Structure 1
Amino acid sequence: MTADIRAFEEAIGLNRIAPSRYSTYLSTQLFCQSVFDPRLSVSRVIAEIEALECTDRKSATKPAALFNRLPLKGLWHKHYIQNGISSMAINLRHAINKFGLPKFEQKVKDLGASGEERYLEASDIDEIVYEAVLGNYGRRYEAGQMTGEWMVYAIHEGQNYYLCLGTHKSGDDALRQQIDLICVPEFPFLKEILVSVT
Structure 2
Amino acid sequence: MYTKGVFEGFYVSEDEVIEFRNNHIGFSQIDLSRVSQFLSIQLASIHKHRVYNSFSITDVIQDLEGVGRGCKRRVAQFKHPPLKGLWKVHFFDPRFMVKNLINHWGLERANSPKLNNLFLRIDEDEEKSPSTHGWHGRLAHEMTVVGYEERARKNNLTGEWIIFLKYKGKNYYLCISRHTSPEEDRDVYEFLKNLCEHEYPFLLPIN
Same structural fold, with TM-score higher than 0.5 when normalized by the shorter chain: yes
Residues 146-157 of structure 1 aligned to structure 2 (within 5 Å) = 146-157=157-168
Q: List alignment gaps of at least 5 residues for structure 2.
A: 1-12, 107-113
Whole-angstrom distance in 1 between the partners of 2:81 and 2:89: 17
**Superposed, which structure 2 residues align to 1:2-41 within 5 Å?**
2-9=14-21, 10-14=23-27, 16-36=29-49, 38-41=50-53
RMSD: 3.7
* Structure 1 stretches of 4+ moved >4 Å: 93-97, 99-102, 104-107, 118-122, 138-145
What letter is aligned with 1:91?
A: N
Aligned AA (2:34): R
The structure 1 residue matched to 2:146, chosen from 135, 149, 160, is 135
- What is the identity percentage for the equivalent residue pairs of Structure 1 and Structure 2? 26
Q: Which structure's relative contact order is higher, taking Cα pairs within 8 Å and 6+ residues apart?
A: 1
The aligned counterpart of 1:45 is 57
1:190 corresponds to which residue? 203
Kindly tell me: are residues 172 and 33 of structure 1, through their superposed partners in 2, closer, same or farther at Cα, counting changes over 3 Å?
Answer: farther
Contact 2:63 2:70 in 1 (8 A): yes
- Say if 2:90 and 2:159, in contact at 8 Å, map to a contact too: yes
Matched residue SS, 2:51: coil
Q: Which residue of 1 is the match for residue 84 of structure 2?
A: 73
Q: Choose 171-180 or 70-79, whichever is displaced more.
A: 171-180
* In structure 2, distance between residues paired with 1:15 and 1:2: 21
Partner of 1:90: 99
Residue 105 of structure 1: how far off its partner (Å)? 4.7
For 1:119 and 1:41, the matched residues in 2 are separated by: 40
Q: Which amino acid aligns with 1:34?
A: H
**Residues 18-76 of structure 1, C-alpha deviations (whole Å, 9 max, x = no match):** 4321111110111123334x4332110112212222285214x6x21111222222101
Runs of 5+ unmatched residues, structure 1: none
Length-normalised TM-score, structure 1: 0.71
Deviates more, 1:168-177 or 1:145-154: 168-177
Structure 2 distance, partners of 1:151, 1:182, is 14
Distance in 2, matches of 1:43 and 1:13, equals 6
Contact 1:79 1:150 in 2 (8 A): yes
Give yes or no for contact 2:34–2:172 (8 Å, CA) kept in 1.
yes
Does the 8 A contact of 2:101 with 2:148 survive in 1?
A: yes
